[in-house]
Amino acid sequence: MITFHNDSHVLHHGRLEMFRGELVPCFEVPERVDHVLRELRERRLGPIESPPHCDELALSRIHSSRYLDFLAHAWDEWVALDPANVQRDAIPSYWPVRTFRSDVLPASFAARLGLFSFDAGSPLTAGTWAAARKGADCAIAAAQQVLAGGRAAFALTRPPGHHAGVDFFGGYCFLNNAALAAQSLRDGGAQRVAVLDIDYHHGNGTQAIFYERSDVFYASLHGDPHTEYPYYLGYADETGKGQGLGCNLNLPLARGTAFAAWREALGQALRAIAVFEAQALVVSLGVDTFAGDPIAGFALASPDYLRIGEDLAAAGLPTVLVFEGGYAVGEIGINAVNVLDGFSQRAV
C-alpha cells in the first residue's frame, strides 16, 4: 500500500487550546504523524512518497472560496494586527449563533475568525495553511492512486480533516481531506462513493458536506453526541435530506464501548455501504477509539486494529484511508499501522 506523507505537517504546531474551561497544551501535535511514519518504515508496508501539488479548483469542489481565501491569508492578517501576535496563535472568541447573520463578511479579523470556526480548541498558527494545503494534496493523490487501479492508498497527514465543513474549521481540522478524496473519486469516474468514519468523534463536517447528496454515502460510528464532542451532530435520526435522504448512517455508541460491540457497529456500516453499491471507499481513519486515548472513551486494544483492517479489506472496494484523530501519542503508530497491516494481509 502506498502512503502519501505530508512532510509540511510540522509547520502546524499549536501552542495552546481551550479545553474544559482552561488553556492547555494542544493534544493534536506533530509527533502523532512522526510515530506513524516510523512504524510504517519499520514494517515496510509499501512506498512512502510526497504528493504532487493539486489544482486549487480541487479544493473549491468542497470548500467555499471566501473560506479558502481566509485560511490562506489569516496568519498574515493576524500578525498585521499586532507584531507581537507572531508569538501567539489565533484562537476564536466570537461566533454568529442563531439569529446572527453569516452572509456578510466582517472587516474585523476577530469576527471573521469566529465566522469561519465553531470552537476555541483549534488554534490557527503560522504554518496552518501550508500544512493543511499539503494534506489536501495527500488525500487527492491517494484518491488518484486508487482511480489508477491501486487497491488502496493511505494519506498520512495532519492537521486532520473530518470536522471541517464547507466554510468552517474546528476540532483541529481546517480542510476536509476525506471529503476531498471522495469528491476526487467522484470526479474521476466513480458513480457512488462511501465515506466510512471510524474516528471516536463524529465527522460533522463530512456529514454536512454530503448530507443532501445521493452519490456519496456517509457512515460513522462514534461516541454518542449526547455526551461527546462535537455534541451538535451525529445522532441516529440524521439520515440525509432531499436527494440525500437515506444516504447518511450514524451509529452513536456509549462511552466505554469495547471492541465486540464496536465491531458489530462496523459490520452494520459496511453492510449499509454494500447495499448502497459503492464503487469506492474512503475511510476516515481515527484511532482515538483506543482505550488509552486522553480525550475519548472507547476501550479498543492495539490488536483490535488488525481486525479492523481485515474487516475494511473484506468489503472488497478500492479504498483511500485518510489519517484523522488519535491522541495517545505513544501508541498511535502501532494502532494506525495495525489497521493498514490488517488491510494489506486480507487484501492479498
Residue 34 in this model has a pLDDT that exceeds 80: yes
Structure confidence at residue 348 (pLDDT): 67
**CATH code: domain of residue 269:** 3.40.800.20
* 53 belongs to the catalytic site: no
Q: Give per-residue pLDDT as tens, 253-265.
A: 999 999 999 999 9
Q: What angle do CA 224, 321, 281 make, to 5 degrees?
A: 85
Domain contains 18: yes
Q: Residue 185: inside a domain, yes or no?
A: yes
Q: Is the pLDDT at 44 greater than 90, yes or no?
A: yes
Q: Are 34 and 153 in contact (CB under 8 A)?
A: no
Percent share of the chain, pLDDT over 70: 100
* Secondary structure class of 155 (helix, strand, coil): strand
- Which structural domain, as residue segments, surrounds residue 292? 2-53+127-347
Catalytic residue among 9, 12, 63, 163: 163
3-state DSSP assignment of residue 49? strand
Has residue 71 been placed in a domain?
Answer: no
In a domain, 290, yes or no: yes
CA–CA distance, 202 with 190 (Å, rounded to integer): 25
pLDDT reported for residue 20: 82
The verdict on residue 224 lying in a domain is yes
Q: Does any domain span residue 99?
A: no
In a domain, 82, yes or no: no
Residue 117 lies in a domain: no
Residue (of 254, 290, 246) closest to 272 by Cα position: 246
Per the structure, the count of domains in the chain is 1
Q: What is the pLDDT of residues 142-157, one digit of tens each?
A: 999 999 999 999 999 9
Provide mean pLDDT across the span 201-230.
98
The predicted pLDDT at position 22 comes to: 87
Mean pLDDT, the chain, rounded, equals: 97
Give the pLDDT mean for 189-197: 98
Q: CA 59, 57, 122 angle in degrees (round to 5)?
A: 20
